[in-house]
Each structure stands twice: as C-alpha cells, then as structure tokens.
Structure 1
Amino acid sequence: MIELLRGRDLGPDVAIYDAGTDGMGVMYQARGCARLIIVDARAPEGDPGAVFEVPGDVLERPPNQSLNLHDFRWDHALFAGRKIYGDEFPADVTVLLVEAKSLDLGLGLSPEVGAAAKTVADRISQMCLK
C-alpha cells in the first residue's frame, strides 16, 4: 500500500507511515494529527478484495488484559491514544479494511486484493485532497 501512495500528490501536510503490527507506533505517530487513515487486512469471509470503510470510533477498543507490545494493535491504539492524548489525538479517524483471500504465509497479493489495494490508494488520495 505504501508503495502505491508514494509519488502521489497527497498534499503538503500528509505523512505516510507503515506501522506494520506496531500499535504503539500508530498511537505515537497519530498524536498531533488532524486526521488519521488506517489500512489493514480483514480476515477472509467470502469476498476477497472487498473494501470496507469504517469510522475509527466504531472499531477502537481497550487493550486486552495483556499490555505487551505484541498484543497492542491499532484498534487498541485508537482507544489508548484518545485516553492518553485527549484533544491532541485525531478526532477524524477512518479505517479502510481489505478482505484478504487468505491469511496463509506467503509473499504477494492475490489478484483480487491487489486490485483492491489500488482502489484503496485512490480513495486515500481523494480523502487527502478534500
């Protein structure tokens, strides 16, 4: 996804950050931002490449009992960031989820998910230039 966004004119105040599975990184990077867009995979349920756009507050949730870094994901970061940073954390959060074809180990994207990634990159461009 990052590679699809690099080189696009997203506006002067837009930063792209690849957090991987680092929920803490999401929380720290989002502090002070006016808007946050998160892109992630969704577990396969039958429609590979389907794109779901969801307001962040619908998906944010408190961390599980375990607070180790491996268990602290972006949905936890949204919850914790609001609690810790208050008004310094973006109120405008959008999550774009792409349904995976498979979560098996491997390299590359299925054709359906690859096409969806381009759709998501176009959507992010539209959102940034508003």
Structure 2
Amino acid sequence: MAPSVLVVGFGNPLMGDDGVGLLVIELLKELGVAPHVRLAEGGTDATVLAGLWQGEERVVLVDALVRGSPPGTIHRLSAEEVLQLPQPHRGVHALSLPECLRWVLLAKPELAKATVELFGVEPRQLEPGQGLTPEVKAAAQQLARQLLQELAPAP
C-alpha cells in the first residue's frame, strides 16, 4: 500500500505569482490524484497545517519561493532546508513559512515522523493583481505533472 500523502498549496491569488501553490492544487484536482493523496488549500497562513495534517506519512507543501533564480524555477527543499530559509518579518501578525513549520512541529511533534518537503516556485512578481506570469503558470503545470507521477502508487 502506498504511503498516505497530504499536498497543501499556499498563496494569495490576488498577489500575482503568489497564487502558484493554489493553482498546483487546482491542477492536481483536475488531473486526478490517487486515493492515498489528499489535497488541501492552505491560503496565506501556513499555521493551518496543524489542523490539516491527519497523520499522513508524507507532507508536500507548494508555495512561491524567492531565492533569486529565474522566474518559474522549481525548488525542492526538505523540512530541514525550509527551517534554514531567511525569515523576513513584514508584520507582527504574520509568520513566515519557516516560522510556521517550526510552530507546527512544536504543536504536533508527531508530524516530525512524516517526510515534509516544500516545492517552491520562483515568482516573477508578487504585486497586487490576479493571474500568474506565463513562466510561473508553466512551472505550476510542470510541477503538477511531476507530483502526479511522483505520488502515483508503485505498480
């Protein structure tokens, strides 16, 4: 039996390429994932992961991730690598993804037994406006196909 998987897309579709995680979830729904894969939208608050996780053995997070690469670049990071990401503080009421993951691991220590990773897509623009730039939309489509293959049960 294939290990259970939770895929959570994060982002804000009103902030341009920040909506990439939500688009990947939408595309995976359209493509049809295997029964052992559960899809969820996390919105803009990664602390919801604590309530979304139901004991899955693998957790895949999808979000926009600024690393200075060309727009549309897909980054794959382990939980340990996510926790090492720089954590800009834009306001006192919002936590960065690394801070949220750290908080969720404290709140749900059993989550540390799961394999957690982030697929981050390098954005071109994170300004108000709907729709993804062409290179980020193409990366979302590529990532959805990659995840569909990767998460398929072994024959």
Coarse TM-score class (shorter-chain normalised)? 0.7 to 0.9
CA–CA distance in structure 2, aligned partners of residues 3 and 87 of structure 1 = 28
Q: Give aligned-pair identity as a percent.
A: 27
TM-score normalised by the chain length of structure 2: 0.70
Q: Is the 8 A contact 2:50 2:108 kept in 1?
A: no
Shift of 1:16: 0.8
| 3-state secondary structure, aligned to 1:19 | strand
CA contact (8 A) 1:31 1:90 kept: no
- Which aligned pairs between 1:1-130 and structure 2 lie closer than 5 A? 1-43=24-66, 45-60=68-83, 70-130=93-153
How far apart in 2 are the matches of 1:88 and 1:105?
Answer: 34
- Which AA in structure 2 matches 1:109? L
Q: What does the per-residue CA deviation read over 1:50-89, in whole Å, with 9 as the maximum and x for residues that have no partner? A: 111111221126x999xx6x41343223212222222245
Residues matched between the structures, number: 126
Q: 1:45 to 1:58 in 2, by over 3 A?
A: closer
Q: Which runs of 5+ in 2 are unaligned?
A: 1-23
Distance (Å, rounded) in 1 between the aligned partners of 2:102 and 2:139: 27
Distance in 2 (alpha carbons) for counterparts of 1:19 and 1:123:
20
Give the CA RMSD over aligned residues: 2.5
Question: Structure 1 residue 7: deviation in Å?
Answer: 3.0
| Poorly superposed stretches of 4+, deviation over 3 Å | none
Instruction: Structure 1 unaligned segments of length 5 or more: list them.
Output: none
Q: Matched residue of 1:18: which SS?
A: strand
Structure 1 pair 98–64 and aligned structure 2 pair: CA distance change class (3 A): closer
Q: Following the alignment from structure 1 to structure 2, what is the Cα–Cα distance between the partners of residues 18 and 92?
A: 19
Larger relative strand fraction? 2
**Deviating more after overlay: 7-16 vs 50-59:** 7-16
TM-score (norm 1): 0.81
Is the contact between residue 47 and residue 101 of structure 2 (CA under 8 Å) also seen in structure 1? no
1:112 partner amino acid: E
